[in-house]
Structure 1
Amino acid sequence: MQVYDCIVVGAGIEGSSTAYNLAKNGQNTLLLEQFPLPHSRGSSHGQSRITRMAYGGADYYTEMMKEAYKLWEELEKGSGTTLYKKTGLLVVGKAESNLIAGTVQALRKYSVPFTKLDEQGLQSKYPMLNYSGVQGVEDHIGGVLFADKALAAFQSEFVKHGGVLRDNESMVDIFPGDIVTVKTNKGSYRGRNLVLTVGPWATKILPPLGVHLPLKAVRISVFYWKEKIAGAYGAETFPTFLAASGSGDFDVYGLPSLEYPGLYKLCLHYGPEIDPDRRDIADSSWVLEDMKKFVAKHFPLLEPHPAVTETCIYTNTPDHDLVLDRHPAWRNVIIGTGFSGHGFKLSPVVGKVLSDLVMRKTPSYDLSHFRIDRFQKSSKL
């Protein structure tokens, strides 16, 4: 039986980026996906994601994003596909919050162009918003990533570099060792290394391997709201958007009208905890009610009810930091999980980091924030 240098399980954006980086570096790599591609059952589907340098209170992500922008540009050139639209990003919050003070600190530290807006400046520049007692920060190179195209670009470039992609093939079991065996519903595969980027299914796949992480899979309601005035929140007039809904530093995000004509994408950054195989059972009516109140209060030029509703899944950690680490016992098993709804933009760097771990290279970033053992419920073998 053929022995791959690496088997990557999960062809979402993180797994596809990892597989691409491995194949680009000459690693004989197999990428497995449980569903037929493309699909909308995980966390990487849809047409748009926010990209930003602004990260209040976690400037290590700002550092990673400096490279991510360069790597996105490389992928654009290699695939011949436009993946990024520069719209800017507007962050709105209390002056003393991490969302504002922390963002300003991070942008200054890494010399990212930005503008700080006081309450009057915010009202003057963005009359389509209704806010008081807050400030704004504009990240001038924030914007939109075209998600479906980005995912397809990683996968096509992976295959172009000699990678093997098998979809509609679900993993049944893992047999760790110096050579890892992965059993699927269609056969068995062997690899010197294994990368698990399985999204919300990490809550089911990792515990049998002795890895007990406090992960929560949550269903996000993706709302699109009709503009009362055409173009009020279009990409030429309004940037991507982050704000607190009232209970945290970052609870609401928005993207300009790009996917549906005249519809603005505005969503709550959390939702009900779910089983990824039974996602529609959980009640999320409260999410809609919270967002209707938010829209009525702060977005006066949107209709009061969403015109379209879609869904996505986050895999959250308690601290909302990623998990990028080796299995505590089997060092040739690499785990990437817990992307907490903000991992898409980071995926070129995540793929590079995970591939470095596979190839026994020293990653170019401090991974202490992303270790498995930072949780009290760490691996118990």
Structure 2
Amino acid sequence: MTDAPDGNRAPGTGPAPGAATRVLVLNCGSSSVKYQLLDMADDSRLAAGLVERIGEDASRLVHTPAGGRRRERTVAVPDHESALKALSAELAADGHGLDSPRLAAVGHRVVHGGLRFTEPTVVDDGVLAEIERLVPVAPLHNPANITGIRTARALNPRLPQIAVFDTAFHTTMPEHAARYAIDVATADAHRVRRYGFHGTSHAYVSRRTAELLGKRPQEVNVIVLHLGNGASASAVRGGRCVDTSMGLTPLEGLVMGTRSGDVDPAVVFHLVRVAGLSVDEVDTLLNQRSGLAGLCGDNDMREILRRVDEGDERAQLAFDVYVHRLKKYIGAYSAVLGTVDAVAFTAGVGENSAPVRAAAVDGLAGLGLAVDPGLNAERSDAPRLISPPDAPVTVAVVPTDEELEIAAQAYALVAHADG
């Protein structure tokens, strides 16, 4: 693995204006590519876009240059190579092509890095082979990430390709938090342990929360609640993750949009033996037909809250189950950390749903948690405090920026190498 400086440095600290200060961030899914171009001289966004429905008859490309008008069109995109060529053409039209001398690197979001990849890493053939070996523990994500890396390398072989791993931030968990209580030899043979995900978000948000408190990350303990369609919690002590809710896969933990989160493992055996479901059908059930959608038919929290206001009992049950699980993790991580300085809400639901935030800390005054109704109701894109001024534990809303975090980590690595 390539040596690197601290991958959790604050964006904006280090990069100086110069010839090559830009990073293209790629997030490749099975049928989509999301991208952003950032300039690390000032953390500015030069462009952002999306190519979706790759492989279908009518793929869609959306590109928005900084300060410019959004461009949207239907294109023929049979594969990821075509998708990257299409987005490269859009960037080139704005003067930001992949051959630009100002482009320092391409930063790739890679979901699973196992235990080997604890930092951002320059991709070579050996690194790519190791990411491929991790496909069995991330079959829905790593293959698409690999395709994106290979395609970007082919388009510009001289440009550094930097893998930034969702799991990396969580590799600081102590062994007693990462281990499952199963036979050690079996676990080790098949890489069964808690890895955690959303690591770039937890790293960014925990650091930004410390800044809100006027302290360094090493001086604070933070519980981060990343609440989107996928949801995860982390306990961060002094800038280092000591526990997280997702495990071997992103299925474990909090109730999510379509994922169950925590269930008794015997539920799987019961459904196979009694309901006659196949293993693949149970997998689909727990990942795609569970969570909020499984409980009430909707996975959009805004729609669920609308239904709650109308007296819909299934929506109310879904909301109550969701919040109950949140409270359990807040309580558990308060115990893990011992002392908590802040609880930070982030991602789509965490940043935008005041009712979820209020309900999650309701009744937790014994843990020092409360929100100010007025502050909680305010809408803003800026990091902000929503707890009363005299609250023992700060409650914050901190918009996440995974793309900026990936770009910062990628740039720090190439700048360090050049230095």
TM > 0.5 fold call = no
Q: TM-score range by the shorter chain?
A: under 0.3
TM-score by length of 1: 0.26
TM-score by length of 2: 0.24
Larger fraction in helix: 2
Larger fraction in strand: 1
